[in-house]
Every structure is written in structure tokens, then in C-alpha cells.
């Protein structure tokens, strides 16, 4: 059995997974600016009997060696540089693996039971507190020479005159279209439902369309870079239903390079579990090597 811990933007999701099946999942508030998030995560796991390895996801770039977070763009700053494999060993007495959250989510959806099971060329957009991305080509996760490849699609410039981003860029997709900007525009479940039903106000329709354009632009960029067969959409925003998937599909069809393959867009049945599923796969692998 694997223990999966996903340090997300609004909550820390924790799961116990055995042979790909979820035994238990729960969450605690993230409090991303506090170092004691590690202690609270450990305290939330009351019993690790039967657990053989730990998978840990972080919302940032990993340092060389894959043991700690190098940078997180103003998220979990107290965890930057902390050796999370040592922490897991000291806390749980178990081997561990650390991965970027979006990359873990894609690996989870490519695994048996995932929405892209068996696909070898895919990209993922996770839409939530930020915009995470990841890519796999020929079955191999894209990492690059310094670990940054594939995961920074949320920081593509979509507005050259847009606001500065904490990452140092300007007009980043993540600055213009996230769960935060949706809240600021007053878009919640009721507004998504009204848009899907065709009864939304003009202001709601415009706000949703603006977000769909940004997400579509990120999807086009990822497809132009990695030429996938499948685009996976996951994250909390996908709870809004088909309106998100359909909007991004339309944008891809209209704006991809004329001869580019139009990939299939897939949404997991349980998008909130994508990262945990991937962490279980990675933890099972590190267990086999220990």
C-alpha cells in the first residue's frame, strides 16, 4: 500500500492506495505560508501500518536530485529546499519519491484506471489555484536538462501588456485565469451551471469566455510544443462539467496549426484524485527499487 501526499494550493490531499485502488482519501487546509504544514500532514496520517512507500507532490520545480522543491512561485515558500525524502524517512520510516504535482497527475492518468491509460504521447493541464502542465512523449515524462520542461505552461505570456507575475514574467496565463481570478469575477458553481444552461448574465458569460480563451491558449501552446494524441484536463475547475472541456476543444480546433493533429480531450472521472493516483505509481516504483 502507498501513502500519497499532495501539497496543493488550497489543501493538502492525502490518500492510501493499494494496487491502484483508493482505500482512503482526506484533506487538511494547506496554509501554504507555514512551515508546520509538514507537521500537520504527518499528524493527519495517524497510522502507516501496511504502507510500504510514500509519494509526495509539490506545486513547483524540483531541485537537482529530486529531493526538494527548488522554487514554487510564491507557493509553499517555507518548504523550498527542504529534503522531503529525508522528512518522509524520519517521519514514517519509509522510502519516498517527490514529484511536481502536474507531472504526477499526468502519470496517474496514463496508468491503469486513468483516463489516458496506455497513451504514450499526452499533455496535461491542471486548472485550479494555478495552472499546471506536464507532457509525456513516447511514454517518457518530459523534464529537460534542468527539470523545468513541460511544467511551466501556466507561465506562457497570453497578454504582453498584462500584469506582472511573481515568476518574473508578464501576462502569464496563471495570473489571468485561475480559481482565484474566477472568485474575483464572482464565478462559482451557480454561475457555471447558469452558463451551461444558457441562462447566465452577459457579465458571467464574458468572464467565463475570457478564462476559456486563456486555458485554450495554454492548450494550443502545449500541443504545438509536444504534438500529443491526448490532452488531459484535470483540477478542481473541471467540476464545472463539460463546458470547460468543450470550450477548450473549440479553441484547439480553431487555433492549432492548420496541419497539426487535433488531439482528443479527456477529463478524468475523479479529477481530484489525479495527483494521488500518479504518486501511488511513483511510490510503488521506488518501493520496488528499495
User: pLDDT band for position 290 (50/70/90)?
Assistant: low
pLDDT score of 133? 97
Which ranges of the chain would DSSP assign to H, the alpha helix?
37-44, 84-92, 101-110, 173-176, 179-184, 189-197, 202-226, 242-255, 274-289
User: At the topology level of CATH, where does 118-267 sit?
Assistant: Nucleotidyltransferase; domain 5 (3.30.420)
pTM above 0.95, yes or no: no
pLDDT score of 33? 60
pLDDT score of 79? 85
Helix (H) or strand (E) holding 57: strand 53-58
Cell of 205: 458569460
2-104+273-289 and 118-267, same CATH topology = yes
Report whether CATH 3.40.630.20 matches the domain 2-104+273-289: no
Asked whether residue 32 carries a pLDDT value surpassing 70, the answer given is no
Instruction: Please state the length of the chain.
Output: 290
Least confident of 65-74, 192-201, 240-249: 65-74
* Domain boundaries defined on the chain: 2-104+273-289, 118-267
User: pLDDT band for position 36 (50/70/90)?
Assistant: confident
pLDDT score of 256? 97
Please give the order of strands across the beta sheet that includes 131-137: 140-141, 131-137, 122-127, 230-234, 264-266
Question: How confident is the prediction for the chain on average, in pLDDT?
Answer: 92
| Interval 120-155: pLDDT, tens | 999 999 998 889 999 999 999 999 999 999 999 999
Q: Which among 72, 238, 84, 212 has a CA at the least distance from the CA of 151?
A: 72
User: What angle (nearest 5°) sits at the alpha carbon of residue 107, between those of residues 223 and 220?
Assistant: 10
Amino acid at each position: 500500500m502507498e501513502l500519497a501526499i499532495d501539497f496543493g494550493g488550497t489543501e493538502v490531499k492525502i490518500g492510501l492506495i493499494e494496487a491502484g485502488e483508493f482505500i482512503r482519501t482526506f484533506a487538511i487546509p494547506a496554509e501554504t505560508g507555514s512551515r508546520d504544514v509538514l507537521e500537520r500532514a504527518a499528524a493527519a496520517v495517524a497510522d502507516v501500518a501496511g504502507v510500504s512507500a510514500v509519494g509526495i507532490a509539490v506545486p513547483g520545480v524540483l531541485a537537482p536530485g529530486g529531493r526538494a522543491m527548488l522554487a514554487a512561485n510564491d507557493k509553499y515558500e517555507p518548504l523550498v529546499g527542504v529534503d522531503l525524502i529525508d522528512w518522509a524517512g524520519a517521519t514514517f520510516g519509509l522510502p519516498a519519491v517527490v514529484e511536481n504535482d502536474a507531472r504526477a497527475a499526468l502519470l496517474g492518468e496514463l496508468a491503469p484506471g486513468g483516463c489516458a491509460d496506455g497513451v504514450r504521447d499526452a499533455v496535461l493541464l491542471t486548472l485550479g489555484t494555478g495552472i499546471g502542465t506536464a507532457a509525456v512523449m513516447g511514454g517518457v515524462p518530459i523534464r529537460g536538462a534542468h527539470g523545468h520542461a513541460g511544467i511551466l505552461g501556466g507561465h506562457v505570456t497570453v497578454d504582453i501588456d498584462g500584469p506582472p507575475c511573481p515568476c518574473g514574467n508578464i501576462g502569464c496565463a496563471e495570473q489571468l485565469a485561475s480559481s482565484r481570478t474566477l472568485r474575483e469575477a464572482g464565478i462559482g458553481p451557480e454561475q457555471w451551471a447558469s452558463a451551461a444552461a444558457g441562462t447566465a448574465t452577459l457579465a458571467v458569460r464574458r468572464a467565463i469566455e475570457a478564462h476559456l480563451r486563456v486555458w485554450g491558449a495554454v492548450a494550443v501552446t502545449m500541443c504545438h510544443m509536444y504534438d500529443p494524441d491526448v490532452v488531459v484536463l484535470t483540477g478542481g475547475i473541471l467540476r464545472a462539467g463539460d463546458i470547460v472541456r468543450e470550450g477548450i476543444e473549440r479553441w484547439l480546433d480553431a487555433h492549432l496549426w492548420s496541419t497539426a493533429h487535433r488531439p482528443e480531450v479527456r477529463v478524468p472521472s475523479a479529477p481530484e484524485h489525479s495527483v494521488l493516483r500518479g504518486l501511488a505509481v511513483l511510490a510503488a516504483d521506488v518501493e520496488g527499487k528499495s
